[in-house]
């Protein structure tokens, strides 16, 4: 059995098959008796793999985290408002917050209010951080799309591998059927003593070899189906039927690899993400430089307070007379003066009453000028420079990898196309050779060994032609993907 070259290629490989499904149902259906098959298309396989792939889910969660970070950077530019509630109790010598006098009584206090602070200017740090997070969000979306594209190519490769192994199994079944027909005819001739019995042994050997090819082909089908099922997160024994994909082999691509490469730089998400990462690093640099700039803030507060030592005077219903150190003379009579006042007393002020009587409102501007902050600004700026250099280097790596992959795709496509054309001519010649050998065998002019040798060569050439045809179609898909960013 000729090994499929697509299995020996790196990340960008796959195959497909249109006709073999019917034969596979006949040959492999016995492995899963009684189970209804699910017919699934390539697009459905891709959607299933993307939906179930854990790496994709992790990338989606990472993107949600990036969204949360971006939203928070927007909220950071809004004023910060907070409520204050400070109950307290003191023993011994303390200051009464109500009268600002010293007291030795047990004192219960409580202050509450609302404070607000808004950063008006801090070297545009908040603005640049918001822009940086917005760029990271866009880059993350392209990274997620790139991860989906990778899974798409893997599914396409596995999908086509199943189809090509199914078609190779169909070829092996047809080969065995043709050999069996010759074996039956030769058996009748031996029984009639028309030919020697030794000729029968060669055909029996060929029939046994065909059975081995069928077994190998079925094993390849099972292995390919298992690989596809694992990508779809299905059990290995899941029974399904793949829709056929039309395959057409054209000549060489019209555009050169340089043209495709230039197109991919503006189409593929990997390239877009790398460009956005560079812009993000630049915004990070601008934000780091803002650490060396002054910070202007607007602050405001509104509050009130309570003290258990607060007293108030209360007038009563009685009056009292108190003599004064003053005298008056009336008719030569000297009288001492006195004052009459309404009786008063003190009592504690209520909690809500104090809160209503003690409102305080303030507003202020603060300007903070950095003089020395343990070189934090220098450290952040240096770190931002490193991140910017890393982003530039990563973009170069992405572009280099894309260029190498596109060059490889063009070279491998031309190689596959040449093999396909060569195998096509080989099959055409060998078909004529086998037909002539079969006619001569039936006429008794040639021995069975010559016929089986010619038939074996034809079988191998057909298998190689199938593989080369699928590989050509695969390479065309890869080139089209780099050219347009989507699979046809």
At residue 215, the pLDDT reads 94
Q: Facing residues of 313 across strands?
A: 346
At residue 386, the pLDDT reads 95
Residue 484, φ and ψ in degrees, nearest 5? -120, -15
- The rounded percent of the chain whose pLDDT value lies above 70 is 87
pLDDT reading at 1 higher than 70: no
116 occurs within a structural domain: no
CATH number at residue 66: 1.20.1600.10
Q: Model's pTM, two decimal places?
A: 0.73
444 occurs within a structural domain: yes
How wide is the angle at C-alpha 393 spanned by C-alphas 391 and 397, nearest 5°?
A: 115
Listed range (117-121, 264-268, 304-308) with the worst mean pLDDT: 304-308
Q: Facing residues of 328 across strands?
A: 335
Residue pLDDT, tens place only, 283-316 = 999 999 998 899 999 999 999 888 887 777 677 6
DSSP per residue over 89-128, as a string?
EE-SSEE-TTT--EE-S-EEEEEEEEEEEEEEESTTHHHH
Residue pLDDT, tens place only, 471-483 = 888 888 888 888 8
330 occurs within a structural domain: no
Count Cα atoms within 13 angstroms, Cβ side, for 82: 7
DSSP class of 20: T
> What residues have CB less than 8 Å from 214, skipping those under 6 apart?
27, 169, 172, 173, 176
- What span, in angstroms and rounded, lies between the C-alpha atoms of 263 and 260? 5
112 occurs within a structural domain: no
458 occurs within a structural domain: yes
At residue 247, the pLDDT reads 64
Question: Which of residues 450 and 464 earns the better pLDDT score?
Answer: 464
Listed range (19-33, 244-258, 457-471) with the worst mean pLDDT: 19-33
Listed range (28-32, 65-69, 139-143, 353-357) with the worst mean pLDDT: 28-32
Host domain of residue 36: 5-72+125-294+374-484
Tokens at residue 271, please? 């390239």
Q: Domain count for the chain, please give it.
A: 1
- What span, in angstroms and rounded, lies between the C-alpha atoms of 234 and 159? 14
At residue 249, the pLDDT reads 61
428 occurs within a structural domain: yes
86 occurs within a structural domain: no
268 occurs within a structural domain: yes
Average pLDDT, the chain: 82
Helices (H), 16-92: 21-28, 42-52, 54-75
């Amino acid at each position: 059995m000729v090994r499929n070259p697509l299995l020996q290629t790196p990340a960008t490989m796959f195959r497909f098959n249109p006709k073999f499904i019917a034969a596979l149902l006949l040959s492999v259906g016995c492995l899963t008796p009684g189970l209804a098959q699910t017919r699934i298309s390539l697009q459905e396989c891709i959607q299933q793999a993307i939906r179930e792939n854990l790496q994709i889910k992790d990338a989606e969660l990472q993107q949600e985290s990036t969204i949360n970070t971006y939203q928070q950077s927007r909220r950071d530019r809004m004023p910060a408002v907070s409520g204050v509630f400070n109950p307290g109790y003191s023993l011994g010598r303390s200051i009464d917050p109500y009268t600002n006098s010293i007291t030795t009584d047990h004192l219960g206090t409580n202050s509450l209010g609302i404070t607000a602070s808004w950063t008006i200017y801090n070297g545009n740090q908040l603005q640049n951080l918001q822009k940086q997070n917005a760029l990271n969000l866009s880059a993350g979306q392209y990274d997620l799309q790139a991860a989906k594209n990778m899974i798409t190519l893997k599914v396409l490769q596995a999908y086509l591998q199943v189809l090509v192994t199914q078609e190779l199994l169909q070829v092996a079944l047809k080969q065995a059927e043709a050999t069996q027909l010759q074996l039956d005819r030769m058996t009748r001739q031996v029984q009639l003593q028309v030919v020697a019995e030794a000729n029968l042994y060669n055909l029996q050997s060929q029939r046994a070899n065909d059975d081995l090819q069928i077994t190998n082909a079925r094993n390849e089908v099972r292995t390919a189906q298992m690989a596809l099922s694992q990508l779809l997160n299905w059990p290995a024994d899941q029974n399904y039927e793949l829709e056929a994909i039309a395959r057409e082999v054209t000549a060489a691509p019209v555009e050169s690899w340089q043209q495709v490469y230039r197109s991919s730089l503006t189409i593929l998400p990997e390239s877009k993400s790398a460009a956005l990462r560079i812009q993000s690093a630049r915004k990070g640099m601008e934000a780091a430089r803002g650490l060396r700039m002054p910070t202007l803030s607007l602050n405001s507060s509104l509050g009130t307070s309570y003290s258990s030592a607060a007293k108030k005077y209360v007038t009563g219903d009685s009056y009292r007379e108190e003599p004064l150190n003053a005298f008056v003379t009336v008719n030569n009579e000297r009288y001492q003066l006195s004052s009459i006042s309404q009786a008063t007393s003190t009592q504690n002020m209520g909690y809500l009453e104090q809160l209503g009587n003690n409102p305080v409102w303030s507003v202020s501007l603060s300007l903070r000028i950095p003089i020395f902050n343990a070189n934090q600004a220098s450290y952040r700026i240096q770190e931002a420079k490193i991140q910017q250099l890393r982003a530039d280097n990563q973009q170069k790596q992405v572009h280099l990898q894309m260029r190498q992959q596109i060059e490889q795709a063009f070279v491998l496509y031309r190689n596959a196309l040449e093999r396909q054309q060569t195998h096509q001519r080989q099959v055409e010649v060998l078909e004529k050779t086998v037909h002539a050998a079969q006619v001569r065998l039936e006429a008794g002019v040639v021995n069975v060994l010559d016929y089986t040798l010619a038939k074996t060569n034809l079988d191998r050439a057909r298998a190689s032609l199938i593989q080369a045809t699928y590989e050509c179609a695969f390479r065309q898909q890869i080139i089209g993907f780099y050219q347009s960013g989507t699979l046809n």
